[in-house]
Structure 1
Amino acid sequence: MLFAILLPGISMMFRGHFLKGLLCGILHVTLIGWIPAAIWAVASYNEDQAEKRHRETLAALRRQSR
């Protein structure tokens, strides 16, 4: 998560969001844009984590119902 705050564009690219990462990187270049870019990257990171937990829960439920 610290990586998402310090280098938001690269953080998004590493997680597979290339276009979002590029836009976030351009936003990060400006001093005023760094704060919204960091917030966006952290929100995206949290969303990816929630999606991962959701998939794991669904997989566990499918295994349990068999």
Structure 2
Amino acid sequence: MLFAILLPGISMIFRGHVLKGILCGILHLTLIGWIPAAIWAVASYREDQAEKRHRETLQVLQQQRQ
């Protein structure tokens, strides 16, 4: 998560959000835009983690049904 705060555009690109990462990187280039870019990257990181937990929960539930 620290990586998402320090380099928000790069962290989004590494997680597979290329277009969002480029836009976030452009926003990050301005001093005023760094804070919104960091917040956006952290929110995106947390959303990806929530989706991962959701997929894992669905897999466990599907295994229990079988």
SS of the residue corresponding to residue 22 of structure 2 reads helix
Aligned to 1:64: 64
**Cα distance, 1:38 vs. partner?**
0.1
The residue type equivalent to 1:51 in the other structure is E
Aligned residue pairs: how many? 66
State the TM-score, normalized to the length of structure 1. Answer: 1.00
Structure 2 residues not aligned, in runs of 5+ = none
The residue type equivalent to 1:6 in the other structure is L
State the TM-score, normalized to the length of structure 2. Answer: 1.00
SS of the residue corresponding to residue 16 of structure 1 reads coil
1:1-66 equivalence runs, <5 A: 1-66=1-66
Structure 1 residues not aligned, in runs of 5+ = none
Stretches of 4+ moved more than 4 A in 1? none
